[in-house]
Structure 1
Amino acid sequence: MTSQVIEDEQQFYSRAQSYWKRVPPTVDGMLGGYGHISSLDLSSSRKFLQRFLREGPNKPGTSCALDCGAGIGRITKRLLLPLFEVVDMVDVTEDFLAKAKTYLGEEGKRVRNYFCCGLQDFSPEPGSYDVIWIQWVIGHLTDQHLAEFLRRCKRGLRPNGLIVIKDNMAQEGVILDDVDSSVCRDLQVVHRIVRSAGLSLLAEERQENLPDEIYHVYSLALR
């Protein structure tokens, strides 16, 4: 549990905010120096998401998606805008959202809102989103705040809407990273938080072909 590894919650959040303010607003910056894995990551994400968009009567719509921890819009640009009519982005770092407006190019006109906010304080508009995509950011929330955020996301879904978490998973327990002030949880812990938020796991997939030295990365589809 994060309560066992985070001594000061306020400091946990403020240190993360300070860390990201120092990160260059580039794809390489968003991926901690692993910019070369971006295409591989996005290609796998597209296949994972399209399984649901193509399936029968309970498939999500394609009107509106939300990109959480969006950074400069790497996922918005290459995954969400090609599949959805409009996209909203939320990120805690103002400079990233400012950069997104040029990085996204012409298609960025279909980004409806740029919300500058930490996810612990963010509430998606109820009944607004077909898909809420949450990638490489849950480690910046405490267990309690993550569960509360997921409950708010559930309320933010349109009929047949879907929440996708894609993130690093530890082999066991919860590991604190002092560099960027985040935690990495094992799958069991994430499953427990998901259940406590009143969500069901529809599918789970491990990302293949990543460098050996980084954490295992899993995608979880929730509803």
Structure 2
Amino acid sequence: MALEESTPNSSSIPPIGLGLCTMTAELIADEEGFYSKAKKYWKNIPPTVDGMLGGYGHISNIDINSSTRFLQRFVGEGSGKAGVGCALDCGAGIGRITKRLLLPLFKVVDMVDVTESFLAKAKAHLGEDGNRVGNYYCCGLQDFIPQPQRYDVIWIQWVIGHLTDAHLTQFLKRCQKGLRPNGIICVKDNVSHDGVIEDEVDSSVCRDLASLRSIMQLAGLHVLAEEKQDNFPAEIYQVYSLALR
């Protein structure tokens, strides 16, 4: 998902109701085209850290360091903390997050991404640490089903904008079933200031916090913590991390 802010094309935010959110439905007339266009976009992106970050590869260290501090609050020894057995990297790309955030903390990491060439590149990018990658899943998250009760942490970064509201809600529900006792889901992504903004270049949307909270509530998740990313360039979207259970 693009980091740089695009020209706003906002929808109004409906109140939380009993049914699924419909915010993206107002923007996405062709759901099949929405997914196929995104898949085509990422096939043409170079399998590098700079490619994964849309030309903002220089922010990777800042991102990883902040994510590490955030995640360490919820894993390890202590009452109610998640274990360190296995994590899932969603929208993993070439393994930037797997290599520098998850493998240093977890014994095994699984990776899922829609772009086959990225996962192929990951094996070289990860080096010897790649021996601790359990599974490479080539699949869109709208279709991916995490193995039940396998994961201590499911990390979802810069990829939820490629899912419709309904598919994001359903995916988060499936992630819940994939958690071990005390496991958590972490979502880190771009957040708009108001409403839902469409990016036609990479075929994604950027939601505001109210929209995200609404979807998470519909998925039956409780927000344990919410943190705004500091020290990113001013011209890109604000980024938030949310820990969910």
Using structure 2 for the length normalisation, give the TM-score. 0.90
Structure 1 unaligned blocks of 5 or more: none
Deviations 1:9-31 (A, max 9, x none): 00000000000000000000000
Which AA in structure 2 matches 1:76?
Answer: T
The question of 1:134 aligning with 2:156 is answered: yes
Q: Which residue of the partner structure matches residue 176 of structure 2?
A: 154
Tell me how far apart the structure 2 counterparts of residues 60 and 169 of structure 1 sit (CA, whole Å).
26
Q: How does 1:160-199 map to 2 (within 5 A)?
A: 160-199=182-221
Deviation of residue 7 (structure 1)? 1.3
Which AA in structure 1 matches 2:196?
Answer: V
Using structure 1 for the length normalisation, give the TM-score. 0.99
Tell me how far apart the structure 1 counterparts of residues 149 and 76 of structure 2 sit (CA, whole Å).
21
Q: Which residue of the partner structure matches residue 58 of structure 2?
A: 36
Tell me how far apart the structure 2 counterparts of residues 201 and 221 of structure 1 sit (CA, whole Å).
6
Deviations 1:35-79 (A, max 9, x none): 000000000000000011257310000000000000000000000
Q: Which residue of the partner structure matches residue 69 of structure 1?
A: 91
| Residue of structure 2 aligned with 1:13, choices 35, 39, 42 | 35
The question of 1:111 aligning with 2:130 is answered: no
Which AA in structure 2 matches 1:73?
Answer: G
| Residue of structure 2 aligned with 1:203, choices 225, 230, 241 | 225
Which AA in structure 2 matches 1:45?
Answer: S
Deviations 1:158-211 (A, max 9, x none): 000000000000000000000000000000000000000000000000000100
Which AA in structure 1 matches 2:186?
Answer: V
* Equivalent position SS for 2:46: coil
Q: Which residue of the partner structure matches residue 18 of structure 2?
A: none
Contact 2:77–2:83 (CA under 8 A) maintained in structure 1 = no
Structure 2 unaligned blocks of 5 or more: 1-22
Tell me how far apart the structure 1 counterparts of residues 27 and 78 of structure 2 sit (CA, whole Å).
43
Tell me how far apart the structure 2 counterparts of residues 36 and 58 of structure 1 sit (CA, whole Å).
35
Question: What is the number of equivalent residue pairs in this alignment?
Answer: 223
Tell me how far apart the structure 2 counterparts of residues 70 and 214 of structure 1 sit (CA, whole Å).
21
Tell me how far apart the structure 1 counterparts of residues 75 and 187 of structure 2 sit (CA, whole Å).
16
Which AA in structure 1 matches 2:89?
Answer: D
Which AA in structure 1 matches 2:208?
Answer: D
* Equivalent position SS for 1:119: coil
* Equivalent position SS for 2:74: helix
Tell me how far apart the structure 2 counterparts of residues 14 and 52 of structure 1 sit (CA, whole Å).
36
The change in CA–CA distance for 1:171 and 1:55 in structure 2 (over 3 A counts) is: farther
% same residue: 70
Tell me how far apart the structure 2 counterparts of residues 181 and 57 of structure 1 sit (CA, whole Å).
42
Deviations 1:55-111 (A, max 9, x none): 731000000000000000000000000000000000000000000000000010000
Tell me how far apart the structure 1 counterparts of residues 75 and 43 of structure 2 sit (CA, whole Å).
35
Quote the RMSD (CA, aligned, Å). Answer: 0.6
* Equivalent position SS for 2:224: strand
Higher relative contact order (CA 8 A, sep 6+): 2
**Normalized per residue, which structure has more helix?**
1
